[in-house]
Amino acid sequence: MKLKCIIFDVDGTMADTERNGHRVAFNLAFQETHLDWYWNEELYGQLLNVTGGKERMSYYQNDFLKKNTLSENEITAIHQCKTNHYVKLLKSGKIPLRKGVKNLIEQALQENIKLAISTTTTPVNVSTLLKATLGADSESIFDVIAAGDVILHKKPAPDIYYYTLNQLGLKAENCIAIEDSSAGLAAAFSAGIKTIITTNKYTQDQDFSNALKIYPNLGTVNTQSLNQFIGENHV
Ligand code: XBP
Ligand code: MG
């Protein structure tokens, strides 16, 4: 079996975006829209169990506050405000790629291994992160960028990975997914894709029993090790 594609998750995997990125953007949006919500680092870590920013806001009001303050439309509007703040943060260059990500991408390109993205975050967040960290036309190095509401059921549902495989025209067994969370692992694993994990402070204590291997970052990961996982020694 040959490795044909590396599928990257984004938040927590390609970059450490949650604590000082998404969380800060949410709080700026709450402030701007005069909503008396504030997500501190600890609370946000708990809310991260719900993937999708809009879904996270609904969960917070319905299950945490147990109040039905905001309508779906109001949540969508506040989430758009959050995205605007998040994009500004990314453009400021404050959120770099994690260790080893750029190197692995460059190695895959040299070896004609396709690249794809399967993420829960909003598409503009992906394009802005890629442009800010890999250059103006870096989106084109990814054969597929599957993000946000392109599917109905977000991670841990496998939908985003099935969508990515379909768009790639590849079988699960020829791909490796790189994730940071148990929800992301569950999604890729359910889609039959072998997955490696790179942990971060928010996810390091989660259950990764279905992962091929767990790394603190991608600094020691290369296409040779990924090929071995697929079952073919790198020639
Ligand atoms: C992580 C998520 C996203 C982000 C926030 O995505 O669950 O919802 O936390 O982004 P992944 P949005 O790990 O799959 O990259 O507010 O745009 O949803
Ligand atoms: Mg993630």
Give the domain CATH number at 28: 1.10.150.240
CB atoms within 10 A of CB 159: 18
Does 100 reside within a domain?
yes
Based on the domain organization, do 217 and 103 belong to the same domain?
A: yes
Return the pLDDT at 234.
Answer: 38
Number of structural domains (the chain) is 2
Mean pLDDT throughout 212-220? 97
> Could you tell me the pTM of the whole model?
0.96
Does 105 reside within a domain?
yes
Based on the domain organization, do 106 and 198 belong to the same domain?
A: yes
Based on the domain organization, do 160 and 113 belong to the same domain?
A: yes
Question: What is the bridge-based pairing of β-strands 213-215 and 194-198?
Answer: parallel
73, 91, 109 — which closes off a domain?
91
Nearest CA to ligand 1 atom 10: 121
91, 124, 146 — which closes off a domain?
91
Nearest CA to ligand 1 atom 7: 51
Which residues form the domain of 220? 5-16+96-230
30, 59, 91 — which closes off a domain?
91
Based on the domain organization, do 109 and 71 belong to the same domain?
A: no
Q: Is the CB–ligand 1 distance for residue 119 below 6 Å?
A: yes
SS (H, E, C) the chain: CCCCEEEECCECCCECCHHHHHHHHHHHHHHHCCCCCCCCHHHHHHHCCCCCHHHHHHHHHHHHCCCCCCCHHHHHHHHHHHHHHHHHHHHCCCCCECCCHHHHHHHHHHCCCEEEEEECCCHHHHHHHHHHHHCCCHHHHCCEEEEHHHCCCCCCCCHHHHHHHHHHCCCHHHEEEEECCHHHHHHHHHCCCEEEEECCCCCCCCCCCCCCEEECCHHHCCHHHHHHHHCCCCC
Based on the domain organization, do 71 and 107 belong to the same domain?
A: no
Based on the domain organization, do 129 and 222 belong to the same domain?
A: yes
- Flag whether pLDDT at 150 surpasses 60: yes
Q: Is the CB–ligand 1 distance for residue 11 below 6 Å?
A: yes
Based on the domain organization, do 147 and 220 belong to the same domain?
A: yes
In this structure, what CATH number is given to the domain that contains residue 194? Answer: 3.40.50.1000
Return the pLDDT at 229.
Answer: 87
Return the pLDDT at 1.
Answer: 79
Mean pLDDT throughout 211-225? 96
Based on the domain organization, do 73 and 126 belong to the same domain?
A: no
Does 235 reside within a domain?
no
Nearest CA to ligand 1 atom 16: 53
Query: Is 149 a catalytic site residue?
Result: no
Query: How does pLDDT run across 50-99, given as a tens digit for each residue?
Result: 999 999 999 999 999 999 999 999 999 999 999 999 999 999 999 999 99
Q: Is the CB–ligand 1 distance for residue 198 below 6 Å?
A: no
Based on the domain organization, do 117 and 220 belong to the same domain?
A: yes
Closest atom of ligand 1 to 14 CA is 15
Query: Is 11 a catalytic site residue?
Result: yes
Spot the catalytic one: 11, 16, 159, 180.
11
